[in-house]
């Protein structure tokens, strides 16, 4: 199914919302997290999620959370195929 530009934008915004919520839940803040405006303006594929930059403490916190979850055998969802 081909998504309209509006559907692509809404899907990207929802992905950002879910990612932000998940990161907030484990104490990780990406201050620049958002939809990449250049890819969102395109007519092909899905917009990209821009993770932006983070400081050293945030990078280490994210690494710790990922290592912890990987050790717990957490399932990783398959990437969206657009």
**Every domain of the chain and the residues it spans:** 5-71
Helix (H, G, I), strand (E, B) or coil at 4: coil
Tens-digit pLDDT profile for residues 56-81: 999 999 999 999 988 876 555 555 55
pLDDT grade, residue 33 (50/70/90)?
A: very high
User: What pLDDT score was predicted for residue 73?
Assistant: 63
In 1-82, alpha helices (H): 5-25, 37-40, 56-71
- Please tell me which residue, 14 or 42, carries the higher pLDDT value: 14
**pTM confidence score:** 0.74
pLDDT grade, residue 13 (50/70/90)?
A: very high
User: What pLDDT score was predicted for residue 9?
Assistant: 85
């Amino acid at each position: 199914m081909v998504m309209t530009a509006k559907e692509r934008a809404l899907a990207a915004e929802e992905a950002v919302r879910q990612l932000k919520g998940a990161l907030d839940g484990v104490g990780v803040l990406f201050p620049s997290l958002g939809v990449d405006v250049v890819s969102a303006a395109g007519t092909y594929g899905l917009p990209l999620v821009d993770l932006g930059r983070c400081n050293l403490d945030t990078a280490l916190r994210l690494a710790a959370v990922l290592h912890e979850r990987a050790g717990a055998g957490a399932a990783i969802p398959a990437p969206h195929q657009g």
